[in-house]
A = this chain, B = another copy of it.
Amino acid sequence: MKKSFGAKTLLYPAPVWLIGTYDKKGNPDAATVAWGGICSSQPPAVAISLRKSRYTYDNIMERKAFTINVPSENQVVIADYCGMTSGKKTDKFAGAKMTAVKSENIDAPYIKEFPMIMECKLLEHVEIGIHTHFIGEIMDVKVEESMLGEDGLPDIMKIQPVIYAPENRAYHSVGKYLGEAFFIGEKIIKDH
């Protein structure tokens, strides 16, 4: 038996990403978001949503660029801090002792200490209710070399990104490996 919760943004899992931008003065800022996801494979693109009132909104509109910075679970306090404070009043890079690195491909900074980062060029933005949905073309993904697996790809168990449970306001880690995509489903196909 299912219980109705009504029209709520109650859906698992949500990501925890810090959006890196430069403000008008060229100072770096990082704002935490949980509303977002990959939105196209070709060109590779990702979408994130922000309210107009956020400092990052103006920064993206001006520079047409942002980074997505994936925190490791031992950086979850930093991630939470960057969602509680505003770049309008606070230098969050100083506050959280983070190092801003100018991206190679776009006009936005990434967080040196974070294990996985993505450089995005603004493609377009769509107004959806109180949020603006920013669609960014992925220009590059950079990952700490110590976080790669034997296959040369990033290892999610080393990066240990953070999962967000909306409504619960809970952060969680990533757990055990469950299986290979586009493979384990063969079991059902073979049964028919």
Interface residue ranges, A against B (CB under 8 Å): 1-15, 34-47, 49, 68, 70, 73, 76-85, 95-96, 104, 116-118, 123-124, 126, 128-131, 133, 135, 137-145, 148, 153-154, 156-157, 159, 161-189, 192
Contact A77 B179 (CB under 8 A): yes
- Are the CB atoms of A37 and B40 closer together than 8 Å? no
Could you tell me the distance between the alpha carbons of A128 and B171 in the complex, rounded to whole angstroms?
30
Q: Is A38 in contact with B42, judged by CB distance below 8 angstroms?
A: no
The answer to whether A49 and B38 touch across the interface, beta carbons within 8 angstroms, is yes
Q: Is B187's CB under 8 angstroms from A176's CB?
A: no
Name the residue on B nearest A159 (C-beta): B12
Copies of this chain in its oligomeric complex: 2
- Asked if B182 and A169 sit within 8 Å, CB to CB, the answer is yes
Residues of chain B within 8 A (CB-CB) of A78 are 185, 188
- Residue pairs across A and B with Cβ atoms less than 8 A apart, 5 shown, are A5-B143, A6-B141, A8-B141, A35-B37, A78-B185
Chain B minimum-CB-distance residue to A114: B2
Q: Which residues of B contact A128 (CB under 8 A)?
A: 39-40, 45, 123, 135
- Chain B residues lying within 8 Å of A44, measured Cβ to Cβ, are 7-9
Contact A96 B188 (CB under 8 A): yes
Closest Cβ of chain B to A171, distance in Å, is: 4
Interface centre among A116, A128, A131 (most CB of B within 10 A): A128
- Measured in the bound complex, the distance between the Cα atoms of B9 and A145 in whole Å is 18
A187 to chain B, nearest CB (A): 6
Given contacts A7-B139, A161-B12, contact A172 B175 (CB under 8 A): yes
- Which chain B positions have C-beta within 8 A of A68? 11
